[in-house]
Each structure stands twice: as C-alpha cells, then as structure tokens.
Amino acid sequence: MNASANGGAVLEVSALCSHYGRIQALHGVSVKVAKGALVALVGANGAGKTTLLRTISGVQPASEGKILFCGEDITRLRSDKRVRLGIAQVPEGRQVFGPMPVEEALERLEEMRLRAETNRRFEIALLEQRAQLEAMRGRFEVARDLISQAKTLAKEHGLQVLFDSHTAPAAGSVELLEGDAAAAERELRPACEGLERVGELGFLSSVAPLLVEALFAQGRDEEALILTERWPPERLTVPEDADAQVGWRRVRAKLLARRGDFEEAERLGREATAIVSSTDFLDLHAHALADLAEVLRLAGKLEESAAAVQEAIRLYERKGNIAAVARLVSASVSGA
C-alpha cells in the first residue's frame, strides 16, 4: 500500500490512547502527515509529545486507536519492523532505547545513521546516543570521541539549548559512568545554569540530578543538598516525568542517608524505585535500585541492601551496561 491509497497521508494517527500503568498519557490523539510535509509537535511538559512519538515508533504500546503508515496498519507492529518500514526515533535524555540491549541499540543506530547526513540535529542526537551506549560497553575513549563530534556540530550550528539539554548531559553521563565526577561536573554545571537562564526547566529537571550525583561522588554533600532544594521536580516538571522524578529522589535519598536521616532517605529511595518500575527504563531502574541499596547499607539494613544490589546488577546485565555492573560490584566489595 502507499500514501495515495490513504488520501495522501504517509502517517495517519486516529484516536490514539496510551497508558503508563494506570496513568493515561495520550487521550484520543489524531494527526495526519502528508508526503513531503515537515510537522512540528508543540506542547507543554506533560502534554504527551514524547509518548506520542514513542507510540508511533512502537516503543510504547497503544491502548486504543490506530496508526497507519502508507496505508498499512502498524498499530501492533514491533518497533524493529517499523524501523525497516522507515519510521525511526532517537529518544532524548539518558534513557537510551528503554529496555533494548546495548548491542541491539547500536545496530539500530547504525541503521539510522545514513538518514542523518542532511539533518544536523538528528546527527548530533545519534552521536550522543552512541556515546552513551559505547560507555556502557566500557569503551570510554570511543564515547568521548563521539561526544566531541556532537559538541563540534552543536557549536558550529549555534544549537546552544540542544548543547545544554542533551550534549553536555550525555558527556556528563559518560564521565559519571567511568567514575570521573569532577569531569562530569565541568560538563553539567554550565548546562544546568544555561537551561535555568533561558527557562528550559523541563530539561533542567532531568539534568540537575546528574550534577547532584557528581557533587555527591566528590563528597560535597551540603552543596548537593542545596541544589536539590533549588531545583525540586515539582517546580520544574510534571509528575509523569519519570526521569526527573526518579533522578531527584534517588540522589537526594543518598544525601539524606549520609546525614543520618535514614527514614526519609529510605522513603525517597523506595518512591524512586516504585516510580521507575512502571516504565521500561532498565538503566534508570537499575540506578534507582543501586542508590536504594546504598541508603539501606548506610542504615545498617545489610541483607536488604545486598538484595537491591543483586537486582540492580540483573537489570544492568539485561541492558548490557557492563561498565555499571563493574562499578557496582567494586563498590559493593569495598563497602562490605
């Protein structure tokens, strides 16, 4: 079938609904995209923009409605088969391809690479995603080279908000994964300040926990706590923003545990794992469990801590994040 058989629409979405657990994120969305058209999706944080794209690309399941591509019903088609039809998405933020294993995600990016040659934003996004995936494999020099390429493109084309919201956080994530918290801070602090300055609070809500993590790793707890109070998620984003909500809770929980406020720390840590458990973000789920394990260890709940560590390792291994497994195993041994 082709677009002419579908009234000229390459993509037609009809009454589309999607849920995250019991939370409905899409409410009967309908849209048509004609052949050759350039369509911008605009809306406030929490309006459902990302969920709509995830559902169209097959990463997020539709609960109701229909998606037609060139006249073919793809509503229940697997995401990898949609890529072969010509539907590709590079997700923003750090949740690189949700539950997809690292090796498979890299293969998917390679399939997309040739399409990025005339779209600089797309090319930068691909470089950032590849960098984070290569870091998960422990190939940090390769990751840094990819980040350097992304930085050069973003600066050449004057894409400062893109640089602060995506490129710098990707660079910071790579440095955090290798254990260089000072280098991560150098990437993340200017990005957070830049996003706050221009009012990009939704992006800031996801980047700020990375900066707090970098300060925590350097033992600068008071400074880190101040930032969690300066940039709480309820001021920056919506309750459905799992990345931000989980990120803030998990890093603040560790900070409070270090101060001896174990009850509040454990409450936040368990909230973080509960929120992320309703998503398919394997890496974020593993991060939350690893941080909860640290809270429980500091509180003297060693058996519960060990169980959380093992579950975090299991999720990291499912994702293929061998660098995170190595760091967590090393930390567990030294903290025992």
- Nearest Cα neighbor of 24 from 52, 45, 58 is 52
Tokens of 30: 């309908």
Cα 121–109–237 angle (5° rounding)? Answer: 55
Same fold, 90-216 and 238-336: yes
The CATH number assigned to the domain with range 238-336 reads: 1.25.40.10
How far apart (Å, rounded) are the C-alpha atoms in residues 180 and 283?
19
- Nearest Cα neighbor of 151 from 127, 176, 182, 184 is 127
pLDDT along the chain (336 residues), means of 10: 62 90 83 84 70 84 93 88 75 62 89 74 91 97 98 94 95 97 98 95 94 98 98 88 94 98 98 92 95 98 97 97 95 71
Classify domain 3-85 at the CATH superfamily level. P-loop containing nucleotide triphosphate hydrolases (3.40.50.300)
8 Å CB contact between 324 and 316: yes
Q: Alpha-carbon dihedral of residues 271, 272, 274, 278, nearest 10 degrees?
A: 140
The answer to pTM > 0.95 is: no
Please give the backbone phi and psi of residue 26, each rounded to the nearest 5 degrees, phi first. Answer: -120, 135
- In angstroms, the Cα distances linking 103 to 133, 318, 333 are 8, 11, 28
pLDDT given at position 93: 46
pLDDT given at position 122: 85
Which amino acid, residue 266? Answer: E
Q: What is the DSSP string of 96-142?
A: TTTT--HHHHHHHHHHHHGGGTT-HHHHHHHHHHHHHHHHHTT-HHH
pLDDT given at position 43: 67
Mapping DSSP onto H, E and C, the string for 147-167 reads: HHHHHHHHHHCCCHHHHHHHH
How far apart (Å, rounded) are the C-alpha atoms in residues 247 and 82?
31
- 90-216: CATH, from 3.40.50, 3.30.300, 1.25.40, 3.30.310: 1.25.40
How far apart (Å, rounded) are the C-alpha atoms in residues 221 and 212?
9
pLDDT given at position 61: 87
Q: How do the domains of the chain map onto residue ranges?
A: 3-85, 90-216, 238-336
Mapping DSSP onto H, E and C, the string for 62-103 reads: CCEEEEEECCEECCCCCHHHHHHHCCCCCCCCCCCCCCCCHH
